[in-house]
Amino acid sequence: MIPDKTLVGKDVYHAAPEVVEGAHVPNFQKYKELYSQSTEKPEEFWGNIAKEFYWKTPRTGKFLDYNFDHTKGKIFIRWMEGATTNICYNLLDRNVHEKNLGDKVAYYWEGNDPEDCMQVTYKELLQQVCKFANVLRAQGVKKGDRISIYMPMIIELVVVMLACVRIGAIHSIVFAGFSADSLCERILDSHCSLLITADGFYRGDKPINLKQIADEAIRKCRERNFSVGKCIVVKHLGVTEATGATDETCTDRASSNTQSPPAKRSCYNLQTTWNADVDIWWHDLMKEASDKCEPEWCDSEDPLFILYTSGSTGKPKGVQHTVGGYLLYTATTFKYVFDYKPDDVYWCTADIGWITGHSYLAYGPLANGATSVMFEGIPTYPNVSRFWEIIDKYKVTTFYTAPTAIRLLMKYGEDPVKKFSRASLKILGTVGEPINPEAWLWYYNVVGNRKCPIMDTFWQTETGGHMMTPLPAAIPLKPGSATFPFFGVVPAILNESGEELEGEAEGYLVFKKPWPSIMRTIYGNYQRFESTYFKKFAGYFVTGDGCKRDKDGYYWITGRIDDMLNVSGHLLSTAEVESALIEHAAVAEAATVSHPHAIKGECLYCFVTLRDGYEFNETLIAELKDQVREKIGPIATPDYIQNAPGLPKTRSGKIMRRILRQIARNEKDLGDTSTLADGTVIEELFNNRCRTA
Ligand code: WTA
């Protein structure tokens, strides 16, 4: 890529000839043509794509039917209603039997320890998925049942999710970094009839006793009169019941039943408890299971999975996606945004517990018959070259990661990167939060050796797939801009009164038309779905993000404009952190705001008002941090907690977080304070500020 020096002060990066050659969308003109087709004739555009997949029966209703305007009736979105298919069939059977990809590697699995690795082909994955689908059926799981999955980044996680899909069960994957409380809350919300977990795993050199956290969650569910039924446990670390002795049969897992070389696994000594009424070992069930399993044919609009994301009231929202549209959209975005070619080796570093892992480590790549790397570990273990070492080891061509990881690795300079050649890399990507130009340039210059375009992909759990994104050859890049809408996406920028702004503008980012993988509802709470996304501006899907459009029409996401925080690319709501703090006996009131952080992007700065008789000291601060960690998970640990004898409030008693944000940053300009009920608290808050980095 060559910076365009003709544009003074604003570098634009054009694709190098080797990126353009053979690209699916070779230039901007072609992008515009395809984009127009996709928005003017969505039925035709997506209809042609649908032909590449297997449908058991054709649709009975319209190709697309929807209402985005609540003033005209109930919000609904339906793509290809009445058509039946099975995503697992399309991802595995179709690739094995029709595309002859049975022996192609689906995943190179790289464990936390570098010597711990294995691979699984499409054929092997299909066998494992069929076996586990039969296990689920034998456990009484039926179409529409919800299954909770709380697992580390191991191949069995993909096996479990696709086995659910094969029998029409709805998976609800909970990120393995969440606490027992968070897991319990998610199990209860969607009434999951089964929990699948693992004994434990290592994050760097830190052991995580996952089974113990899962046990705790099951106990908490029981206290609230809900029984999870069974808990199926993958023996990943090789922990034996109760004794905690290491078990040398720890390679005895799904992977070792495959034709790939058995995985070399380290065995560790983690203590776990075993409740024979509830717990069942995965390998005991898999031993007897048949590897043939007829898929359940599902309607295009049947639910596919639920994935929880933070909501501004503090209660997480179970975002529900459906079969047909999600398949089309994740497959298509994967193909075009990463300009996928059959020989590519693709690596998305996201955990499957987040939407990025769902769409771009599982569904999108598998729908294209791609080979992916799945990584269990962290970028800094055993050393800060780990990413680059893995890229060389598997000859990764396409690398998709988060700005927070880039900023973390930037800190260590160029040497750890340059120890490895990274010669295989063609395309880079980022996701999760705005990328600052400095990190973009480091990623581009150092990691990509100035030859790999960076796909800055803006999207959300709710959107299911990329919304605003460059395409490698077609769209010249500007560092920090997510550039243009993907096919079928019609963005608009609105002002506070809901008027669409043209040309150069800044305001609310909304979408005017449905795309195939838009969420269909919040599980069990349709009303909340309608009011969260469609009530503020009638006729539009509201993202909750702010956005700027420059004179060239490029979109720049400016970040959340609701009560949401983005810590290391993970969304948290101020309300959920505050309610965790308030549960501590010492806390009368709490308010949380975001504070800039060099690596995490944003971090949590909390203000607490104490009850009478409690003293604000280091012990209390540590207790409060633990409290949040326990209630939500380590990602939500506050960086700063400040004593706030009084909080700035409006006359109606609403906390003015805008003012607290300025105090946290030591910014004296507080903007409009006319609605502030009692200005005297401000000076004291400034005096009590935490010393921030
Ligand atoms: C933010 C993650 C700027 C945004 C896929 C969004 C981004 C939220 C970008 C969704 C990006 C994601 N540039 N901001 N490229 N990608 N975001 O649901 O605030 O975990 O609303 O989905 O992340 O987070 P979620």
Mean pLDDT of 141-158: 98
Q: Which residue has the tokens 């969308």?
A: 25
Ligand 1 center–CA 227 separation, angstroms: 35
Residue in 486, 545, 570 to alter for ligand 1 test, most ligand atoms within 8 A of Cβ: 545
Binding site membership of 161 for ligand 1 (Cβ less than 6 Å)? no
Give Cα separations from 522 to 187, 309, 356, 461, 680 (angstroms): 15, 10, 19, 12, 42
User: Structure tokens of 554?
Assistant: 């490029």
Pair 376, 117: CB distance under 8 Å = no
Mean pLDDT of the chain: 93
DSSP reduced 3-state for 116: coil
pLDDT tier for residue 314 given thresholds of 50, 70 and 90:
confident
3-state SS of 413-481? CCHHHHCCCCCCCCEEEEECCCCCHHHHHHHHHHHCCCCCCEEEEECCCCCCCCCECCCCCCCCECCCC
Ligand 1 center–CA 474 separation, angstroms: 23
**Does 579 score more than 60 pLDDT?**
yes
Binding site membership of 456 for ligand 1 (Cβ less than 6 Å)? yes
Binding site membership of 542 for ligand 1 (Cβ less than 6 Å)? no
Binding site membership of 356 for ligand 1 (Cβ less than 6 Å)? yes
Please tell me the distance from the alpha carbon of residue 395 to that of residue 380, in angstroms, as a whole number: 20
Binding site membership of 571 for ligand 1 (Cβ less than 6 Å)? yes
User: Structure tokens of 61?
Assistant: 């209703």
DSSP state of 255: G
* Interacting residues of 499 by C-beta distance below 8 A, sequence separation 6+: none
Angle subtended by helix axes 618-631 and 180-189, to nearest 10: 30
Side-chain-facing half-sphere of 144: CA atoms under 13 Å: 3
Ligand 1, closest atom to CA 560? 19
Mean pLDDT of 134-146: 98
3-state SS of 31-92? HHHHHHHHHHCHHHHHHHHHCCCCCCECCCCCCEEEECCHHHCCCEEEECCCCEECHHHHHH
DSSP reduced 3-state for 400: strand
Q: Where are the alpha helices (DSSP H) in 534-677?
A: 574-582, 618-631, 657-664
Out of 381-390, 565-574, 615-624, which region has the weakest mean confidence (pLDDT)? Answer: 565-574
Q: What is the residue with the minimal CA distance to atom 12 of ligand 1? A: 432
**Closest among 14, 3, 19, 2 to 397, alpha carbons compared:** 19
Binding site membership of 134 for ligand 1 (Cβ less than 6 Å)? no
Ligand 1 center–CA 458 separation, angstroms: 6
Ligand 1 center–CA 335 separation, angstroms: 20
Ligand 1, closest atom to CA 456? 15
Ligand 1, closest atom to CA 564? 19
3-state SS of 499-563? CEECCCEEEEEEECCCCCCCCCEECCCHHHHHHHHCCCCCCCEEEEEEEEECCCCCEEEEEECCC
User: Structure tokens of 600?
Assistant: 């995490």
Can you give the pLDDT at residue 132? Answer: 98
Binding site membership of 602 for ligand 1 (Cβ less than 6 Å)? no
Q: What is the residue with the minimal CA distance to atom 14 of ligand 1? A: 433
Ligand 1 center–CA 403 separation, angstroms: 11
Q: What is the number of other CB atoms lying within 10 angstroms of the CB of residue 446?
A: 17
Please tell me the distance from the alpha carbon of residue 557 to that of residue 137, in angstroms, as a whole number: 45
Q: What is the residue with the minimal CA distance to atom 15 of ligand 1? A: 458
**472-475-476-481 Cα dihedral, nearest 10 degrees:** -90
Q: For the chain, state the CA radius of gyration.
A: 25
Binding site membership of 39 for ligand 1 (Cβ less than 6 Å)? no
Ligand 1, closest atom to CA 482? 15
User: Structure tokens of 412?
Assistant: 């260590």
Binding site membership of 333 for ligand 1 (Cβ less than 6 Å)? no
Give residue-wise pLDDT tens across range 375-410. Answer: 999 999 999 999 999 999 999 999 999 999 999 999
User: Structure tokens of 263?
Assistant: 């995985």
**Buried/exposed code over 58-77 (b: 16+ C-beta within 10 A; e: otherwise):** ebeeebbeebbebeeeebeb
Ligand 1 center–CA 372 separation, angstroms: 22
Ligand 1 center–CA 564 separation, angstroms: 11
Q: What is the residue with the minimal CA distance to atom 23 of ligand 1? A: 432
- Taking the domain 564-687, which CATH number applies? 3.30.300.30
Query: Exposed, middle or buried, 693 (CB in 10 Å: 0-12/13-18/19+)?
Result: exposed
* pLDDT above 70: percentage of residues in the chain: 94
Ligand 1 center–CA 540 separation, angstroms: 18
pLDDT tier for residue 6 given thresholds of 50, 70 and 90:
very low
Q: What is the residue with the minimal CA distance to atom 7 of ligand 1? A: 433
Pair 605, 638: CB distance under 8 Å = yes
Ligand 1 center–CA 459 separation, angstroms: 5
**Does 1 score more than 70 pLDDT?**
no
Binding site membership of 461 for ligand 1 (Cβ less than 6 Å)? yes
User: What are phi and psi for residue 231, nearest 5 degrees?
Assistant: -125, 115
Out of 23-32, 231-240, 684-693, which region has the weakest mean confidence (pLDDT)? Answer: 231-240
**Does 247 score more than 50 pLDDT?**
no
Where does 323-376 show beta strands of DSSP type E?
A: 345-348, 371-375
Ligand 1 center–CA 506 separation, angstroms: 18
**Does 555 score more than 80 pLDDT?**
yes
Binding site membership of 431 for ligand 1 (Cβ less than 6 Å)? yes
**Does 528 score more than 60 pLDDT?**
yes
Pair 123, 202: CB distance under 8 Å = no
Element housing 106 (H / E) = strand 105-110
Ligand 1 center–CA 569 separation, angstroms: 7
Element housing 403 (H / E) = helix 403-410
Out of 103-117, 126-140, 294-308, 549-563, which region has the weakest mean confidence (pLDDT)? Answer: 549-563
**Does 253 score more than 50 pLDDT?**
no
Pair 267, 250: CB distance under 8 Å = yes
Give Cα separations from 415 to 35, 49, 384, 405, 418 (angstroms): 42, 44, 10, 16, 5
Could you tell me which CATH class the domain 116-296 is placed in? Answer: alpha beta
Can you give the pLDDT at residue 264? Answer: 38
Q: What is the residue with the minimal CA distance to atom 22 of ligand 1? A: 460
Ligand 1, closest atom to CA 570? 20
Q: What is the number of other CB atoms lying within 10 angstroms of the CB of residue 28?
A: 15
* pLDDT above 90: percentage of residues in the chain: 86
pLDDT tier for residue 239 given thresholds of 50, 70 and 90:
low
Higher pLDDT residue, 569 or 335?
A: 335
Which residues does residue 564 pair with via DSSP β-bridges, in sequence order? 573
Binding site membership of 67 for ligand 1 (Cβ less than 6 Å)? no
* Interacting residues of 198 by C-beta distance below 8 A, sequence separation 6+: 151, 152, 154, 156, 210, 211, 233, 234, 235, 236, 237
Ligand 1 center–CA 492 separation, angstroms: 17
**Does 244 score more than 50 pLDDT?**
no
Binding site membership of 565 for ligand 1 (Cβ less than 6 Å)? no
Ligand 1, closest atom to CA 354? 20
Ligand 1, closest atom to CA 356? 5
Mean pLDDT of 220-245: 82
User: Structure tokens of 645?
Assistant: 């004898």
pLDDT tier for residue 641 given thresholds of 50, 70 and 90:
very high
Ligand 1 center–CA 545 separation, angstroms: 9
pLDDT tier for residue 256 given thresholds of 50, 70 and 90:
very low
**Does 671 score more than 90 pLDDT?**
no
Which residues does residue 66 pair with via DSSP β-bridges, in sequence order? 77
Domain boundaries, the chain: 116-296, 564-687
**Closest among 556, 550, 543 to 512, alpha carbons compared:** 543
Binding site membership of 215 for ligand 1 (Cβ less than 6 Å)? no
This prediction has a pTM of 0.91
Ligand 1 center–CA 392 separation, angstroms: 29
Beta strands 146-150 and 194-198 are parallel
Give Cα separations from 1 to 282, 436, 569 (angstroms): 49, 19, 27
Angle subtended by helix axes 323-337 and 42-50, to nearest 10: 90
Ligand 1 center–CA 495 separation, angstroms: 21
Q: What is the number of other CB atoms lying within 10 angstroms of the CB of residue 277?
A: 6
